[in-house]
Amino acid sequence: MRSSLENYLEQLHIDKKTGILNIILAFEKNLFKFYFKEGEIYHISYKIKKGMDSLRELFEKEIKMINFIPDVTIDIENKGLPNTKEIIEEVKKLNLYLSLEQSNFSPLEFKKIKEKITLALIKQIGPIGNKVIDRVIKEKWNATIHNTKEDLIKLIGLLVEEIEDPEGKKEFQKELEQYIQEVYK
């Protein structure tokens, strides 16, 4: 899945999220960070740079992974930082894309959901289920930026196609539909 960084930032803004958006760049050790409070970006940092200067560092960088840590704030603010909509417009100009790992679930939450789906798939097709789910996610699953309930149901539908036994298909689908209902209570 590919989605623009701009769309992800917009979604955090619309949802009025508070927390830190960490961006891991390929071949880099340092995290690029957007700090949100009630949907507004109040601080941006990368290495020793702050604010819009740090944003320019994203140009021509490859984003490897991203995660959002909710409900975390720091007592710092960039003076002279444009408003969130202006920052998003600047990010739009950079035309950056995120890979599948990016979701509104924390990495730990998505890992837990993926593990449950993988175990259910392994029950039906054997240990190859680990590789099958990774392949399907990478090549076929086009989730929205915030991995909705419908996105996960779509993933389950794609994985059902990988099961040959008709009874196994039904069992897999039933088990995971119940699980998804629990996740989205």
Give per-residue pLDDT as tens, 2-50: 457 787 888 899 989 999 988 887 777 788 899 999 999 999 988 888 8
DSSP 12: H
Q: Which of 60, 39, 42 is nearest to 51 (CA)?
A: 42
Please determine, for residue 102, whether its predicted confidence score (pLDDT) is greater than 50. Answer: no
pLDDT for 97 beyond 70: no
Q: Which residues contact 29 (CB under 8 A, 6 or more apart)?
A: none
Q: Give the predicted TM-score (pTM) of the model.
A: 0.52
Helices (H), the chain: 5-14, 51-55, 84-94, 107-125, 129-139, 149-160, 166-183
Cβ atoms of 133 and 116 within 8 Å: the answer is: no
Query: Locate tokens 């989205």: which residue?
Result: 184
Counting beta carbons within 10 angstroms of the beta carbon of residue 165, is it exposed (0 to 12), middle (13 to 18) or buried (19 or more)?
Answer: exposed
Mean pLDDT of 149-169: 89
pLDDT of residue 96 exceeding 50, the answer is yes
To 5 degrees, how large is the angle CA 107–CA 111–CA 117?
Answer: 150
> H or E element: which one contains 31?
strand 31-37
Instruction: Locate 31 and state its tokens.
Output: 């995290």
Q: CB within 8 A of 50, min separation 6: which ones?
A: 43, 44, 78
The pLDDT of residue 107 is above 60? no
SS (H, E, C) 169-184: HHHHHHHHHHHHHHHC
Residue positions counted in the chain: 185
**What distance in Å separates the CA atoms of residue 89 and residue 34, rounded to the nearest whole number?**
15
Whether 110 has a pLDDT exceeding 80, the answer reads no
